[in-house]
Amino acid sequence: MKNKNYFTRYLILVLPLLFINLNAQEEVDALEAARLAKSAAEKAQAEADAATEAAMQAAVEKAAAKARVDAVQAKKDAEAKKLAEAKAAEEAELDALAKAAGEEAKRKIAQELGLDDGSSEGEASVEEAENTETNPEEVEVAAEVAEEAEELAVKESSGYNVGLSGSMGFIQGGFFDNIPIGGSLVISTPWGFDVAGIRFGLSGTIGAYPAKHNSGEKFTPIAMGVGGNLTLAKLVFAEGHVGLVGEATGARGFAGISLERLMKKGLNLPFNVLIGGEGFMSTRLRYDSATYWGGLAFRLDMSF
């Protein structure tokens, strides 16, 4: 009986302690769980903040790269536009100069043909020249364009030139008893080209030069050939033809001065005069003999 009471007292004492211990353990577990949950939440927040920062940095870098590309393209576009505007302005200036030169050449041709006295255009040109500051380079370019336009207009109006050339010989080879005196017909074509202010043109010739052999025989060699001519500053003229002179291959040459500026522009005459020296060479003029002759020549050119 005594032991039973003792056991009962033990249970009364132990059970409350056991209950208190279990309750305390549950509170400790709840606190640990709360602590772990808080740590996990903080870690998740940190990871979210890091991801947000990375995304923002990537967006900033992408925007900066795009802005750089756009700035480079805008600069290229601005430079291209500037170059295009400069080129357009240059083309417009050249077009204006060419147009003015063409109008001036047209006016001069009309004056020469008696269709227009050019007074109104002349007064307008003088007034414009007085009111406009002139650039020497532009004046030079305009003069060159005007000269080219004038030459083009003359070519279109004339096309071909026919020249009559006569020479009086003063040198000869031993083949002759007297120096041949005769004449040639020269046809100049509008075909040719310009190089450094020198005009090269294509032409052909045919002529006859009565002569007397040192044996006393009289004969008339024919000279014909094709070649070209060149003119420097519309003053110095040279011409050469290769073909048949006598009975075999030969050549004819003419060099002198052209009076075109005086005859056509100064005196307003429809023809041109050339003065110079004319020479002939043949590999076989007659009797298997090669020889030459030359002299002073006068040539009259007519455009049509």
User: Average pLDDT for residues 297-304, to the nearest whole number?
Assistant: 87
Task: Could you list the beta-strand ranges (E) of the chain.
Answer: 161-172, 176-178, 181-195, 198-208, 211-213, 218-219, 222-232, 236-245, 248-258, 271-286, 289-303
Say if residues 174 and 287 touch (Cβ distance below 8 Å).
no
pLDDT at 177: 84
Would you call 123 helix, strand, or coil by DSSP? helix
pLDDT at 136: 56
Query: Residue 178: CB partners within 8 Å, gap ≥ 6?
Result: 172, 211, 212
Would you call 214 helix, strand, or coil by DSSP? coil
Percent of residues, the chain, with pLDDT higher than 90: 19
pLDDT in tens, 237-276: 999 999 999 999 999 999 999 888 888 777 878 888 999 9
Pairing status of strand 211-213 against strand 176-178 = antiparallel
Strands lying side by side in the sheet with 218-219: 176-178, 211-213, 218-219
pLDDT in tens, 111-127: 766 565 454 444 445 45
- Report the distance separating Cα 286 and Cα 34, nearest Å: 136
- Report the distance separating Cα 254 and Cα 301, nearest Å: 14
Q: Token digits for 241?
A: 């033809």
pLDDT at 149: 53
CA distances from 104 to 125, 136, 266 (A): 9, 18, 18
Write out the residue limits of the CATH 2.40.160.20 domain(s) in the chain: 159-303
Backbone angles phi, psi at 276, to 5 degrees: 180, -155
Using the CB atoms, write b or e for 176-211: b if 16+ within 10 Å: beebbebebebebeeebeeeeeebebebbbebebeb
Please give the single-letter amino acid code of residue 203.
Answer: S
pLDDT in tens, 211-227: 888 888 888 999 999 99
CATH number of 159-303: 2.40.160.20
pLDDT at 87 > cutoff 70: yes
- Report the distance separating Cα 246 and Cα 211, nearest Å: 11
User: Average pLDDT for residues 131-137, to the nearest whole number?
Assistant: 52
Query: Where do we find the tokens 């590309």?
Result: 69
Whether this model's pTM surpasses 0.85: no
Mean of pLDDT over the chain: 79
